[in-house]
Amino acid sequence: MATRGRSGFCRSLPELELLLLAILVLLNGTVLSLESASSSEIHTGEGNNTSKKPFPVIGIVYDEVSIPFEISLWVLLASLMKLGFHLIPRLSNVVPESCLLISVGLLVGGILKLARDEVPPVLSDRIFFLCLLPPIILDAGYFLPIRPFVENIGTILMFAVVGTLWNAFFVGGLIYGVCQLAQDTYSEINLGNIGILPCLLFGSIISAVDPVAVLAVFEEIHINELLHILVFGESLLNDAVTVVLYHLFEEFMESGSVSAVDAILGLVSFLIVALGGVLVGAFYGILAAFTSRFTSHTRVIEPLFVFLYSYMAYLSAEVFHLSGIMSLIACGAVMRPYVEANISHKSHTTIKYFLKMWSSVSETLIFIFLGVATVDGEHHWDWIFITATLILCLVARVIGVVGLTFVINNFRIVKLTTKDQFIIAYGGLRGAIAFSLGFLLHTDHKKIFLTAIITVIFFTVFVQGMTIKPLVELLAVKKKHEAKRSINEEIHTRFLDHLLTGIEDICGHYGHHHWKNKLNRFNKKYVKKILIAGDRCKEPQLIAFYHKLEMKHAIRMVESGGGSKLNSSFPSTVSMQNIQPKIQSPPSARPAERALPQLTKGREEEIRQILRTNLQRTRQRLQSYNRHTLVVDPDEEGLDDLILKKRRMMELDWKIKEMTNYLTVPHAQGSPTMSRTRMASGRNTDFIPPQQKKGNKQSADSQAYVKPGAKGVPSIQIDLASPQSPDSVRLLDEVGQDQGLTMSLPSSSSRAYKTGGKDDDRDQQKLLRCLSDPGPSADEDEDEPIPT
Amino acid sequence: MLMINVFVSSVSTEQIKNLHMRFQQLCGNEKTLRKEHLENIPTLADNPIKTEIIKAFFDKRNQHNNELGSYEEIGFEEFLMVMSHFRPPSIKTSAEEKAAMRKRKVRFLFNMHDTDGDGKITLEEYRKVGIVEGLLSESESIGQEVARAIADAAMLEVASTNVPNMVREVTKITLALFLHFACPQILKDLEMESRMYVRFLDMNTANLHCGK
C-alpha cells in the first residue's frame, strides 16, 4: 500500500526514491558502527570523572538498549531493502530477490568491516535456528497444500531420504578421495590431513536442499504445482536426514571409531527423529485445535495460540534432538483445518498476515546476514577443494535425481519427464541451513569447509537462481494455472473420489482411495466433533466454497442498485464477462423499465453490513503460500470500490435478463443471502421468465415454499438453509419431480419475514455459524441477528 | 469373449485371473452377477453414489455396443468391460490412445450422470447425481435450494466457457459438451485418463476381501 502511494507521488522521481533509501541504508550502517564506538567512549569517560558532575541534562546511555536497538536496525534495513527492490521492476524480474539481498549483505558487511574492522557475529547459529528459521517453516507448513503433498508423498520421501543420503555419501566419499589425491604437504593446509569422517560430515552438511532458498527462488518462477511440491517437499523433509547424519558423524568423530552397531543405531535414530518430530508436531497441533474451540469469547488472542503452540512444537522437538522442521510442518498442517473452522475471520486474516510478514522478514534477514557473515569469518580458499566440491555437488544431484526418477516412475501414474527431472535437479539449492550447520563445526578444518559451503551456496543461489527462470521459459515447462478453482472441478473431484472408492470396494482391493475415505469418515465422525466448536463441524466444504463466491456476487448485486435479480448466481466474474461479448444481436425487446426498488439509506446500510459480515466469514480458502504476492481480495479492500462498477453491472444486468429468456435454467434462487437481500429491498423483485408463468414444472420459485394453492402471495417467504436430514432431501426430490417445489418442509415452514422471530434468528445464526465466523467480541453487532 | 480380446493387450492375464476370482467371489454360487450381489458388499454401503455405481455395471451403454437400457444380470465379460474403464495409461500409450482413453472414461462418467438414458444430462440429473449424492456423505446435508443453486452455477460455468452458440441452449449437457468441458477448460488439472484408475494391477488373492 505504501509503495503504491509513494510510487504514485514520485512517479517522476524514482531515482530520488532510491537515493533516499540508499541514504537510509548508509545511515543504518554508520549508526551500527558508531554504536560500539560510542559505547566504548562512554565507558572511558565515566572512568575518568570521579569529581562531582553537574546534573546531566542530556546524555547518551546506549548500552541498555543496544541489543534491541541493533536488532531493530537490522530488521529496518531488511525491510527497506525489500521496498527498494520492488521499486526497480526490471531488476526484480531478472535477478531473484535472494541474490540481491545477499549482495546487500555483502555491501553492509563490507561497510561495517571498514568502519569498525570487525563485523558483528550476526548469523550465529542460535539466532538462526531459534529465531529466523521457525517463521519461514511455519508459514510453509501452515499453508502447505495438503492434497498434492500427500498424493506425491512417496516420491517426496524417496527424494528426501534416499536422495540426501546418496548426495552425502557421494560428495563426502569422493571429496575425501580428491583430498587424498591432491595431497600437498608443503601447503598451508594439507588436504591430505582431512580424514574420512570430517569429509563425510562435510558431505552431509552440504547435501541437503534448503527450504529457504527453494522457496525464495521457486516462488518467483510460478512453476507447476507438481514440481513445486516435489522440490519443496523434499527440502522440508530432508531436515530429518540432515539432523541425523550430522549428529551421527559428529559422534563418530569424537569417539574416533565406527562400528556396525553404530550404523544400525543411526538408522533407528533416523526413524525416531523423523517420526518423533512429526508426532510432537501433531500433538501440539491437536492441542492448538482443541484450544481454539474455546476461544469464542476472547477472539483477540486467537492468533497467539497458533503461533505459540507451533513455536513450542519446534522447541520441544529441538530439545530431544528431533527434527524441528518436521515437527513444525506437522503442527501447522494438523491444526489448520480445525483452527480455521473455529476462529474468527479477523483472526484468520491476522494469522495469515503475521505469518507472511515474519517469514518475509526472516528470509530477508537470513540472506543479508549470509552476505555479512561472508565478509566476516576467516576463509581459506583452496582451489582444488572448492571446485571439486562444487562439481561433485552438481554431479551427485543430477545422478541422484535421474536414478531415483527411474525407479520411482515404475510406481507413479503421472510419470516424471526428463524436463521435470532437470528442473528438480536444477532446483536443488543450498542455503543458510548448510551455512549455519557449518558454523557449528568443531573440526580443525572449519575454515576450509566454511569457504566451500559459502561458495556452493553462492553458486546455487546466484547462478542457478538467476538462470532457472529463463530455463523454465526455454524448456516450456508447464506453469501454474492461475485460474480460480471452478465449481465443476470441485464437484468432479469429489465425485471421482467416491466413484473410485466404490470401484475399489467392488474389486475387493483396499487401495489408497479406500483408506483415504476411511480417514475422512473417521475425521468427520470423531475428530471434528471434538475439535470444532458448535455446529460448524457439519458444514460440507463445497458449501463454504460456494457461499463465498456467492457472497461476492451478492455484494455486487447490492452495490449495483439493490435488488436487481440476477439469475446467474455464481460465476459473476466468469459468466458476465464471457457471456456479454457473445451476445451478438441486441436484445430484441428491451423489457419495460422495471422499477428498481429504491432502498432507503438505512436498509442499504443494513444489507451492506450483513453482506460484509457474511462475506468475511466465508473467506476461508487460502490457495497460495506465495509470500511475494499475497493475494488481496478485492472485497477485503473495500466495498466502496464496487460502487464504481455500478453502472456496468446494471447494464450487464439487463443483458443477463435477456439471457434468461432463453436459458431455461430454473430460478437460481440460491442462497439465503439472495433471499435476505430481496426481502430487505422490500418488494418481490423476482424476474419471472414467461415459461415460469405457464407453470413449468421445473421452475417454480424455489424460494417460496408456498403451500399448494397459495400462489401469488405477495408476502415473501424465506427459508434459510437450515440443515435438513438427507432423507428429507431425497423425499423432497421425489415428490418435487411433479409439482415443483411446492412441498412444505417440516421444520422451517413458510413464514413471512416480519414475523420471523426466534426461529429466524436461530436458523440464521446456524447459517452464519456454518459460515464460521462470529467475529470478535468488540464488534458486538456482528453477532446480533438482523434487527427487524 | 470377443470383447475381452479388445482389452487383453492392456490388461494382463494376471489381472484377468484376479478379476475372475473376484467375480466368482461376488457371485457366490451363481454364474452371473446381479444387483443384489453388489449391494451386499458391506464397505460399499456407505458410499453416497452407490446406486449409480451399481447401475453402471448393469448399464448397457457401458458395454459399447450401442444398446440402451440395462441388464438384469451380467456375466464376466460385461464385468470386465466395466472394469476396463479404470485402467491407467502406461508410459507407452501414445497421445491418441490417451485421448481415446479419456473419451471412454468421460463417457463412463457421463453415463453415470445421465440416469434416464436420453443422451443428455439435465439440470435435475446433474443436481441429483453430481451434487446431492456425489458430494455429500450421510452425515452431511444440503439445503434444496443450495443444491439447486450450485447446479445452476455449474451449468452456467459450462455454458460460459463454451462455444458461443451453445450459450443460449444450455439446459442439458450433451455428451459432446461433457467431453468438451472434461478436457481442457474446466477440469483442466484433472487429467481424466490418469486420475480415473484403480490399482487392480497389484491385486493378489491375499488382498481380496470377501464381499459377502
The string of DSSP codes covering B97-135 is HHHHHHHHHHHHHHHHH-TT-SSEEEHHHIIIIIIIIHH
The reply to whether residue B146 touches residue A719, judged by beta carbons under 8 angstroms, is: no
Q: A571 to chain B: which residues are within 8 Å by CB?
A: 153, 156-157, 160
Which of B81-102 are b and which e, b meaning 16 or more Cβ less than 10 Å from the residue's Cβ?
Answer: bbbbbbbbbeeebeeeeeeebb
**Amino acid, single-letter form, for residue A118:** E
CA distance A128 to A726: 54
Q: A719 to chain B: which residues are within 8 Å by CB?
A: 143, 145
The pLDDT of residue A743 is: 34
Q: What ipTM is given for this predicted complex?
A: 0.83
Q: A504 to chain B: which residues are within 8 Å by CB?
A: 198
Judged on CB neighbours under 10 Å (0-12, 13-18, 19+), A190 is: middle
Q: B207 to chain A: which residues are within 8 Å by CB?
A: 508-510
CA distance A328 to A278: 8
**Amino acid, single-letter form, for residue B139:** S
Nearest-by-Cβ selection for B209 from A510, A513, A698: A510
Q: Which fold, B92-196? A: Recoverin; domain 1 (1.10.238)
pLDDT surpassing 70 at residue A433:
yes
H runs (alpha helix) in B72-204? 76-83, 95-113, 123-125, 134-135, 144-160, 175-180, 192-195
Q: How far is A518 from chain B (nearest CA, A)?
A: 10
The reply to whether residue B153 touches residue A491, judged by beta carbons under 8 angstroms, is: no
CA distance A423 to A96: 17
List the single range of A133-147, B73-87, B160-174 with lowest mean pLDDT.
B160-174
CA distance A777 to A782: 9
The reply to whether residue B145 touches residue A494, judged by beta carbons under 8 angstroms, is: no
The pLDDT of residue A608 is: 58
CB A753 within 8 A of CB A718: yes
Q: What is the mean pLDDT of residues A213-226?
A: 84
Q: What is the mean pLDDT of residues A142-152?
A: 86
For the CA atoms of A41, A47, A52, A56, the dihedral, rounded to the nearest 10 degrees, stands at: 30
For strands B120-122 and B172-174, give the pairing.
antiparallel
Domains in chain A: boundaries: 125-475, 492-549
The CATH number of domain B1-88+197-211 is 1.10.1740.10: no
pLDDT digits (tens, 9 = 90+) for A187-199: 556 666 777 888 8
Q: B212 to chain A: which residues are within 8 Å by CB?
A: none
Nearest CA in chain B to A409: B91
Residues in B 131-150 with any Cβ partner in A closer than 8 A: 131-132, 134-150
Nearest CA in chain A to B48: A498
For strands B33-34 and B120-122, give the pairing.
unpaired
Q: B86 to chain A: which residues are within 8 Å by CB?
A: 500, 503
Q: Please state whether the predicted TM-score (pTM) of the whole model is above 0.80.
A: no
Q: B74 to chain A: which residues are within 8 Å by CB?
A: none
The pLDDT of residue A307 is: 93
Nearest CA in chain B to A726: B141
Q: B83 to chain A: which residues are within 8 Å by CB?
A: 503, 507
B201 touches chain A (CB under 8 A): no
Nearest CA in chain A to B50: A502
Nearest-by-Cβ selection for A500 from B38, B161, B198: B198
CB A569 within 8 A of CB A671: yes
pLDDT surpassing 70 at residue B4:
no
Distance of CA A423 to the CA centre of its chain: 22
C-alpha cell at A594: 422495471
Q: How far is B65 from chain A (nearest CA, A)?
A: 22
Residues in B 154-173 with any Cβ partner in A closer than 8 A: 154-161, 164, 167-171
What are the residues whose beta carbons fall under 8 Å from the beta carbon of A253, sequence distance 6 or more? A197, A198, A201, A443
3-state secondary structure of B41: coil
> How confident is residue A121, by pLDDT bands cut at 50, 70 and 90?
low
User: Which residue, among A410, A491, A585, would best test binding to B if mutated, counting the most B CBs under 10 Å from its CB?
Assistant: A491
CA distance A67 to A70: 5
Nearest-by-Cβ selection for B198 from A415, A487, A509: A509
* C-alpha torsion sign, points A734, A735, A738, A743: negative
3-state secondary structure of A115: helix
CB A601 within 8 A of CB B183: no
Higher pLDDT residue, A288 or B26? A288
Residues in B 53-112 with any Cβ partner in A closer than 8 A: 53, 57, 83, 86, 88-89, 91, 109, 112
Higher pLDDT residue, B86 or A741? B86
Nearest-by-Cβ selection for B22 from A225, A491, A508: A508
Q: How far is A169 from chain B (nearest CA, A)?
A: 32
Look-up of cell digits 553537574: A54
> How confident is residue A283, by pLDDT bands cut at 50, 70 and 90?
very high
CB B156 within 8 A of CB A672: no
C-alpha cell at A207: 547435501
The reply to whether residue B149 touches residue A508, judged by beta carbons under 8 angstroms, is: no
List the single range of A240-244, A505-509, A602-606, A713-717 with lowest mean pLDDT.
A713-717
Nearest-by-Cβ selection for A511 from B38, B148, B198: B198
**Main-chain dihedrals φ then ψ at residue A718, nearest 5 degrees:** -125, 150
**Amino acid, single-letter form, for residue A191:** L
pLDDT digits (tens, 9 = 90+) for A561-585: 644 444 333 333 333 333 333 333 3
For the CA atoms of A10, A11, A12, A17, the dihedral, rounded to the nearest 10 degrees, stands at: 50
Q: B190 to chain A: which residues are within 8 Å by CB?
A: 489, 492-493, 496
Q: A498 to chain B: which residues are within 8 Å by CB?
A: 47-49, 134
Q: How far is B162 from chain A (nearest CA, A)?
A: 9
Look-up of cell digits 543411526: A266
Q: How far is A777 from chain B (nearest CA, A)?
A: 30
Q: B22 to chain A: which residues are within 8 Å by CB?
A: 507-508
> How confident is residue A437, by pLDDT bands cut at 50, 70 and 90?
confident
Nearest CA in chain A to B134: A495
Q: How far is B59 from chain A (nearest CA, A)?
A: 15
The pLDDT of residue B59 is: 77
**How many inter-chain contacts (A to B, CB under 8 Å) are there?**
240
pLDDT digits (tens, 9 = 90+) for A382-417: 888 888 889 999 999 999 999 999 998 888 877 788
Most confident of A181-190, A210-219, A351-360, B180-189: A351-360
Q: A529 to chain B: which residues are within 8 Å by CB?
A: none
Q: A409 to chain B: which residues are within 8 Å by CB?
A: 91
> How confident is residue A280, by pLDDT bands cut at 50, 70 and 90?
very high
DSSP string, A666-735: ------HHHHHHHHHTTS------HHHHTT-GGGS-SS--PPTT-TT--SPB--------HHHHHHHHHH
pLDDT surpassing 70 at residue A274:
yes
Look-up of cell digits 489408497: A512
Q: A704 to chain B: which residues are within 8 Å by CB?
A: none
From A770, A753, A748, A722, select the one nearest A547 (Cα to Cα): A770
Domains in chain B: boundaries: 1-88+197-211, 92-196
CA distance A553 to A150: 33
Q: A488 to chain B: which residues are within 8 Å by CB?
A: 154, 157-158, 181, 186-187
From A228, A68, A69, A50, select the one nearest A152 (Cα to Cα): A228
The reply to whether residue B194 touches residue A413, judged by beta carbons under 8 angstroms, is: yes
CA distance A29 to A70: 10
pLDDT digits (tens, 9 = 90+) for A315-345: 999 898 888 899 999 999 998 888 888 888 8
Kindly state the helix (H) or strand (E) to which residue A610 belongs, with its residue range.
helix A601-617
The reply to whether residue A508 touches residue B137, judged by beta carbons under 8 angstroms, is: no
CA distance A684 to B9: 64
CA distance A771 to A615: 9
The pLDDT of residue A610 is: 58
Q: How far is B207 from chain A (nearest CA, A)?
A: 6
Nearest-by-Cβ selection for A733 from B123, B128, B138: B128
Name the architecture of domain A125-475.
Up-down Bundle (1.20)
